[in-house]
Structure 1
Amino acid sequence: MQDKDNPGSAEAGRFALVSIRLPVALTFAALIIGLVAGIAGAALGAPAWASELAALIGGLWLRALQMTIIPLVAALLVLGLVQMILAARVGTVARRMLLIMIAVQLGGGAFTSLAMPALLDAFPVPEGAGAFLAQTPANVGAVPGVLDFMASLVSPNIFAAAAETAMLPLTLFFVMFAVAITRLPADQSDRLLGFFHALGNVMLLIIGWVLAIAPVGVFALAFGVGVQSGGGAFTALGHYVLSVTAMGTFILVLAYAIAAGLGRTGLMRFAGAVLPAQAVALSTQSSLASLPAMLDSAGRLGLKVSTAEFVLPLAVVIFRATSSAMNLAVVYYIAALAGIEVPFAIAVAGILIASIISLSAVSLPGSISFVVSIGPIALAMGIPVEPLALLVAVEMLPDLMRTLGNVTMNVAVTSAVDRAVSESHQAA
Structure 2
Amino acid sequence: LLLFVVVLLLAAVFGELAVEGFLALWPIPADAAEALRASLASSAPTVPAVAPLPEWLAAIIPTNPVKAAAEGEMLPLVLFALLFGFAITQLARERAVGLVNFFEAIVEAMMVIVHWVILVAPIGVFALAYVVGARVGLGIAGALAHYLVLLVVVQVVLIALIYPMVVLSTKIPLATFARAVAPAQAVATSTQSSLASLPAMIESTRQMGIAPPVTALVMPLAVSVFRFTSPVANLAVVLYSASLFGVQLGMVHYAIGAVIALLMSLASVGLPGQVSFFASIAPICLAMGVPVGMLPLLLAVESIPDIFRTIGNVTADVAITAVLAGDAIGVPETDS
Query: TM-score of the superposition, structure 1-length normalised?
Result: 0.63
Checking the alignment, whether the CA contact within 8 Å between 1:153 and 1:168 is kept in structure 2 is: no
* Separation (CA, whole Å) in 2 of partners of 1:133 and 1:108: 31
Q: How many equivalent pairs are there?
A: 318
C-alpha distance in 1, partners of 2:104/2:317? Answer: 28
Q: Which sections of structure 2, spanning at least 5 residues, go unmatched?
A: 330-336
Deviation at 1:232, TM superposition (A): 3.0
Alignment of 1:144-155 (within 5 A): 144=50, 148-155=52-59
CA 415–163 in structure 1, closer or farther in 2 if over 3 Å, else same: closer
Q: CA deviation at 1:345?
A: 1.0
1:359 match: secondary structure:
helix
Q: Distance in 2 between matches of 1:351 and 1:195?
A: 29
2:305 aligned partner: 398
Return the offset for 1:395: 1.0
Tell me the residue number matched to 1:99.
2
For residue 276 of structure 1, what is the aligned residue in structure 2? Answer: 183
> Are the equivalent residues in 2 in contact too, given 1:153–1:169 (CA < 8 A)?
no
Partner in structure 2 of residue 222 of structure 1:
133
- RMSD of aligned Cα (Å): 3.6
Q: 2:274 aligns with which of 367, 371, 374?
A: 367
8 Å contact 2:62–2:80 — kept in the other structure? no
CA contact (8 A) 1:133 1:338 kept: no
Give the direction of change, closer, same or farther, for the CA distance of 1:122–1:290 in structure 2 (3 Å limit).
same
In the alignment, which of 145, 148, 165 is matched to residue 241 of structure 1? 148
Cα offsets for 1:321-377 (capped at 9, x unmatched): 211111111111111111112211121111111111111223544312112111211
Establish whether residue 117 from structure 1 lines up as the match of residue 20 from structure 2: yes
Shift in alpha-carbon separation, 1:161–1:306, aligned structure 2, 3 A = closer
Q: What residue identity is the alignment partner of 2:8? A: Q
Deviations 1:304-335 (A, max 9, x none): 12222333344333332211111111111111
**SS class of match (1:341):** coil
Distance 1:290 1:180, change over 3 A: closer
CA contact (8 A) 1:287 1:407 kept: yes
Percent of aligned positions that are identical = 38
Q: Is the 8 A contact 1:112 1:328 kept in 2?
A: yes
1:15-164 equivalence runs, <5 A: 98-126=1-29, 127=32, 128-131=35-38, 133-134=40-41, 136-138=43-45, 140-144=46-50, 148-155=52-59, 158=63
How far does residue 382 in structure 1 lie from its aligned partner after superposition? 1.6
Q: Which has the higher contact order (CA 8 A, sep 6+)?
A: 1
- CA positional deviation for 1:173: 5.2
For structure 1, the 5+ residue unaligned runs are 1-97, 423-428
Structure-2 change in CA distance of 1:180 and 1:387 (3 Å): same
What's the secondary structure of 2:249's corresponding residue?
coil
CA displacement at 1:170 relative to structure 2: 5.7
In the TM superposition, 1:291-306 aligns within 5 A as: 291-306=198-213
Cα deviations across residues 148-185 of structure 1 (Å, max 9, x unaligned)?
A: 23322103895698899776566555544554455567
Query: Which residue identity lines up with residue 132 of structure 2 in the other structure?
Result: L
